[in-house]
Structure 1
Amino acid sequence: MFAGFAGLLYWLWSNTASNLAARGIRVGFDYLDRQANFPISESVLPYDPSDTFGWAYLVGVANTAAISFTSIVAATLLGLLIALVRLSRNPLASTIAAVFVGGVRNMPLIVQLLFWYALATTLLPAPRLAFNPLPGVYLSLRGLYLPSLSLGEHGNVFLLLAASVIVGLAILRRQLSATLRDPLGWSAVVVIVIAALALIKPAVSVPELKGFNFVGGLRLSPEFAALMLGLVLYTSVFISEVIRGGIEAVSRGQWEAGRALGLSERHTMFRIIIPQALRIIIPPMTSQYLSTVKNTTLALAVGYPELGLVVGTVINQTGQAIESISILLAVFLTISIGVSMFMNWYNARVALVTR
Structure 2
Amino acid sequence: MSDATIERHRPRVPPRRPLRLSWSDERVRGAVWQALVVGVVAAILWWLIRNTAHNLEVRRIATGFGFLWREAGLPIGEHLIDYAPTDTYARALLVGVLNTLKVAVVGIVLATLLGTAIGIARLSRNWLLARIASVYVEVIRDLPLLLQLLFWYTILQNLPGPRQALNPVDGVFLSNRGLKLPWIEWEAAHGAALLALAAGAAGTWLYARRARARQMADGQPRRVWPAGLVLMLGLPVAVWAAMGAPWTVDRPALRGFNFQGGLTVSPEYFALLVGLVTYTAGFIAEIVRAGILSVGQGQWEAAQALGLRHGQVLRLIVLPQALRVIVPPMTSQYLNLTKNSSLAVAIGYQDIVSIANTTLNQTGQAIEGIAIIMAVYLTISLSISAFMNWYNARIALVER
Mark yes or no: TM-score above 0.5: yes
Match of 1:134 in 2: 169
Match of 2:149 in 1: 113
* Residues 196 and 235, structure 2, Cα contact 8 Å, conserved in 1: no
- Specify the SS of the correspondent of 2:167: strand
* Residues 169 and 176, structure 1, Cα contact 8 Å, conserved in 2: no
- Specify the SS of the correspondent of 2:168: strand
Match of 2:365 in 1: 320
Aligned to 1:294, which of 328, 335, 339?
A: 339
| C-alpha deviation, 1:318, in angstroms | 0.7
1:158 aligns with 2:192: yes
Match of 1:29 in 2: 65
* Residues 179 and 186, structure 1, Cα contact 8 Å, conserved in 2: no
State the alpha-carbon separation in 2 of the partners of residues 281 and 181 from structure 1: 32
- Specify the SS of the correspondent of 1:59: helix
1:44 aligns with 2:80: yes
Aligned to 2:181, which of 143, 146, 164?
A: 146
Aligned to 2:138, which of 102, 112, 117?
A: 102
Match of 1:341 in 2: 386
Matched residue type, 1:47: Y
1:196 aligns with 2:240: yes
Gap change, CA 1:289 and 1:28, over 3 Å in 2: same
Aligned to 1:222, which of 262, 267, 291?
A: 267
Match of 2:23 in 1: none
| C-alpha deviation, 1:163, in angstroms | 6.9
Matched residue type, 1:250: V
TM-score by length of 2: 0.81
Gap change, CA 1:343 and 1:259, over 3 Å in 2: same
Aligned to 2:356, which of 311, 314, 323?
A: 311
| C-alpha deviation, 1:193, in angstroms | 3.3
Aligned to 1:92, which of 125, 128, 131?
A: 128
Matched residue type, 2:199: V
Identify which of structures 1 and 2 has the higher relative contact order when contacts are C-alpha pairs closer than 8 Å and 6+ apart: 1
Unaligned segments of structure 2, at least 5 residues = 1-33, 212-222
Kindly provide the CA deviation profile for residues 69-121 of structure 1, in whole angstroms up to 9, marking residues without a partner as x. 11111011000110111100111111111111101100000000000000000
Match of 1:256 in 2: 301
Q: What does 1:267-286 align with in structure 2 at a 5 Å threshold?
A: 267-286=312-331
Matched residue type, 1:304: Y
Kindly provide the CA deviation profile for residues 327-347 of structure 1, in whole angstroms up to 9, marking residues without a partner as x. 110110111111111111111
- Bigger shift: residues 39-48 or 286-295: 39-48
TM-score by length of 1: 0.91
Matched residue type, 1:288: Q
Kindly provide the CA deviation profile for residues 46-83 of structure 1, in whole angstroms up to 9, marking residues without a partner as x. 21111110011111111111100111110110001101
Kindly provide the CA deviation profile for residues 273-314 of structure 1, in whole angstroms up to 9, marking residues without a partner as x. 000000111111111111011000001111111111011110
Unaligned segments of structure 1, at least 5 residues = none
- Bigger shift: residues 330-339 or 162-171: 162-171
- Bigger shift: residues 197-206 or 336-345: 197-206
Q: Count residues in correspondence.
A: 352
State the alpha-carbon separation in 1 of the partners of residues 209 and 386 from structure 2: 26
State the alpha-carbon separation in 1 of the partners of residues 189 and 326 from structure 2: 39
| C-alpha deviation, 1:182, in angstroms | 6.6
Gap change, CA 1:3 and 1:181, over 3 Å in 2: farther
State the alpha-carbon separation in 2 of the partners of residues 145 and 189 from structure 1: 28
* Residues 344 and 350, structure 2, Cα contact 8 Å, conserved in 1: yes
Gap change, CA 1:130 and 1:186, over 3 Å in 2: same
- Specify the SS of the correspondent of 2:184: strand
Percent identity over paired residues: 48
- Bigger shift: residues 244-253 or 17-26: 17-26
* Residues 169 and 175, structure 1, Cα contact 8 Å, conserved in 2: no
- Specify the SS of the correspondent of 1:138: strand
| C-alpha deviation, 1:151, in angstroms | 1.7
Matched residue type, 1:40: I
Gap change, CA 1:188 and 1:54, over 3 Å in 2: closer
Q: What does 1:69-84 align with in structure 2 at a 5 Å threshold?
A: 69-84=105-120
| C-alpha deviation, 1:162, in angstroms | 4.0
| C-alpha deviation, 1:167, in angstroms | 6.9
State the alpha-carbon separation in 2 of the partners of residues 304 and 349 from structure 1: 37
Match of 1:213 in 2: 258
State the alpha-carbon separation in 1 of the partners of residues 93 and 270 from structure 2: 22
Larger radius of gyration: 2
State the alpha-carbon separation in 2 of the partners of residues 182 and 254 from structure 1: 32
| C-alpha deviation, 1:156, in angstroms | 8.1
| C-alpha deviation, 1:157, in angstroms | 5.4
State the alpha-carbon separation in 2 of the partners of residues 6 and 170 from structure 1: 52
